[in-house]
């Protein structure tokens, strides 16, 4: 059923030509195939096009604050997958798995999955 | 009415309804067939993969200086692409004709906008291109002529833009020639990039579309600037000799660096013979090996 739904969605998106567009190349921005996990609190959820960004704040080993920019699907794409503007709010504690950015100092990730332990909400998948 | 008068009247009415110069109707929603260059048009190309691009030294040097985070600078996030985006982007097209209100003749063809590309207005009324000193923008200025059933559009006055989304760029001196060819319910669009600043030969891409009854959106959702991790004022780039990804195509796929760095000879089939002894088939493909997966919230 999931496969059928995905194929139908893909076909509709292709015909309508309204999918969000990776304005930069993922392969050139992130280390595809690698994974990292961050436990952090939501600072801001930029639900927008061409891509949404989730700003997170975590602490390093010395207690210093680190801000993460996690790239996600565009508003239209996420909306069709059940993620809305109000789905995530500042202060939500989340566990994010993503592909790390090529520049480690940029603290940037491409979203693979996200989970909010407080209520069990989660999302996982791909986007372009 | 005599037979002769009827014949003349019929002939005249046919002349009125049949367009001159063998032009054909291109109007409608054209759904993109994205099998060609799927990775390049979708999630994006590998870094420092410029095989098949007829770079000169300046074009290669500019590409090597490019750092992906450039596009995450606040002032560039919503920057429009040039009309070359038709060739390199994934989206469908909607086209329509604009008639002259007095004569009814087609004054212009419009290729509708995308979220990251302005509409292409193809002027068909014979107007000249602006002075070479006129301002350039991402949209450019486009005129068209019919060559039989083929519409040929010539775009000048564009700003510098991308050729491939990994740093390969065209200059503001570039000229894009776009050929629209309809075959029943299919359309082929062939785009030629001529750039005297960064290319030694024309770079050519073709795209295919199916006529669709589903309306293609014009403009798409709005782009909104936001924090993508690049602080205001920083300009991401690589200084000469510091790009860390020039060996990536060799490491991933065994493709020699001389192929990945592009140049006119890498466009032609005989180049494969030149590098066949340097190509090493990797034991296992580890990235972008095909396939995909669905997504959804739980």
The CA–CA distances, whole Å, from B27 to A83, B61, B104, B211 equal: 36, 41, 16, 9
User: What's the CA angle centered on A115, arms A114 and A118, to 5 degrees?
Assistant: 150
- Chain A, residues 73-102, CB within 8 A of chain B, namely 73-76, 81-83, 87, 101-102
> Where do the structural domains in chain A lie, given as residue ranges?
20-124
Nearest to B170 by CA among B143, B135, B140, B144: B140
Q: Which residue has the higher pLDDT, B270 or A104?
A: B270
pLDDT at B3 > cutoff 90: no
What is the mean pLDDT of the segment spanning B145-157?
A: 97
Q: Is B165 on the interface with A (CB under 8 A)?
A: yes
| Test mutation, A7, A25, A102, A114, chain B, max B CBs within 10 A | A25
Which chain A residue has the Cα nearest residue B219?
A18
* Tokens read off for B124: 């068909």
Instruction: Quickly state the pLDDT bin for B15 (edges 50, 70, 90).
Output: very low
* pLDDT digits 0-9 by tens, A12-43: 444 343 444 556 788 888 998 899 999 999 99
| Test mutation, B38, B215, B228, chain A, max A CBs within 10 A | B228
CA–CA separation, B113 vs B94, rounded Å?
Answer: 8
Asked whether the bond before A50 is cis by omega within 30 degrees of 0, the reply is yes
Residues of A in contact with B226 (CB under 8 A): 46, 48, 53
Residues of B in contact with A76 (CB under 8 A): 221
DSSP string, B5-60: HHHHHHHHHHHHHSPGGG-----EEEEEETTTTHHHHTT-PPTT--TT--B-HHHH
Q: Which residue has the higher pLDDT, B88 or B110?
A: B110
Which chain B residue has the Cα nearest residue A72?
B228
**Which residue among B71, B212, B214 sits closest to A24, beta carbon to beta carbon?**
B71
* Tokens read off for B176: 């894009």
Residues of B in contact with A46 (CB under 8 A): 224, 226-227
The H or E element that residue B194 is part of is strand B186-194
> Where do the structural domains in chain B lie, given as residue ranges?
28-212
Average per-residue pLDDT for chain B: 88
Instruction: Quickly state the pLDDT bin for B11 (edges 50, 70, 90).
Output: low
Q: Is B46 on the interface with A (CB under 8 A)?
A: yes
* pLDDT digits 0-9 by tens, B31-42: 999 888 888 888
Instruction: Write down the pTM of the prediction.
Output: 0.82
Nearest to A21 by CA among B81, B294, B126: B81
Sign of CA dihedral A14, B210, B122, B39: positive
Query: What's the fold here for domain A20-124?
Result: OB fold (Dihydrolipoamide Acetyltransferase, E2P) (2.40.50)
Confidence (pLDDT) at B242: 96
The CA–CA distances, whole Å, from B289 to A81, A95, B163, B284 equal: 25, 28, 23, 10
């Amino acid at each position: 059923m999931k496969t059928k739904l995905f194929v139908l969605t893909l076909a509709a998106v292709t015909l309508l030509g309204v999918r969000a567009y990776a304005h930069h190349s993922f392969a050139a921005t992130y280390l595809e195939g690698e994974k990292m996990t961050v436990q952090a609190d939501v600072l801001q959820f930029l639900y927008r096009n061409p891509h949404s960004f989730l700003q997170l704040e975590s602490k390093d080993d010395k207690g210093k604050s680190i801000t993460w920019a996690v790239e996600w699907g565009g508003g239209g794409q996420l909306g069709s997958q059940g993620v809305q503007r109000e789905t995530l709010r500042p202060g939500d504690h989340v566990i994010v798995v993503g592909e790390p950015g090529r520049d480690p100092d940029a603290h940037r990730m491409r979203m693979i999955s996200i989970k909010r332990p407080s209520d069990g909400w989660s999302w996982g998948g791909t986007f372009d | 009415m005599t037979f002769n008068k009827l014949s003349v009247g019929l002939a005249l009415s046919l002349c009125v309804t049949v367009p001159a110069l063998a032009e054909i109707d291109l109007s409608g929603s054209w759904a993109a067939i994205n099998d060609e260059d799927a990775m390049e048009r979708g999630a994006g190309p590998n870094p420092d993969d410029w095989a098949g691009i007829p770079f000169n030294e300046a074009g290669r040097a500019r590409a090597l200086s490019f750092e992906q985070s450039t596009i995450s600078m606040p002032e560039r996030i919503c920057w429009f692409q040039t009309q070359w985006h038709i060739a390199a982007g994934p989206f469908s097209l909607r086209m329509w004709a604009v008639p002259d209100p007095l004569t009814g003749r087609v004054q212009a063809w419009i290729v509708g906008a995308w979220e990251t590309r302005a509409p292409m207005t193809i002027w068909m009324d014979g107007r000249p291109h602006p002075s070479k000193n006129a301002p350039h923008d991402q949209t450019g200025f486009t005129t068209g002529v019919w060559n039989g059933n083929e519409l040929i559009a010539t775009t000048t006055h564009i700003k510098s833009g991308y050729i491939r989304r990994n740093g390969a760029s065209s200059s503001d001196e570039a000229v894009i020639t776009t050929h629209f060819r309809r075959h029943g319910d299919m359309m082929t669009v062939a785009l030629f990039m001529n750039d005297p600043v960064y290319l030694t030969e024309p770079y050519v891409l073709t795209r295919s579309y199916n006529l669709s009854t589903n309306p293609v959106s014009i403009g798409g959702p709005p782009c909104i600037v936001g924090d993508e991790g690049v602080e205001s004022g920083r300009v991401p780039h690589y200084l000469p000799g510091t790009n860390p990804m020039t060996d990536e195509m060799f490491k991933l796929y065994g493709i020699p660096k001389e192929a990945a760095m592009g140049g006119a000879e890498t466009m032609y089939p005989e180049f494969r013979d030149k590098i066949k002894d340097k190509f090493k088939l990797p034991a296992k493909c580890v990235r972008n090996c095909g396939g995909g997966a669905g997504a959804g919230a739980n």
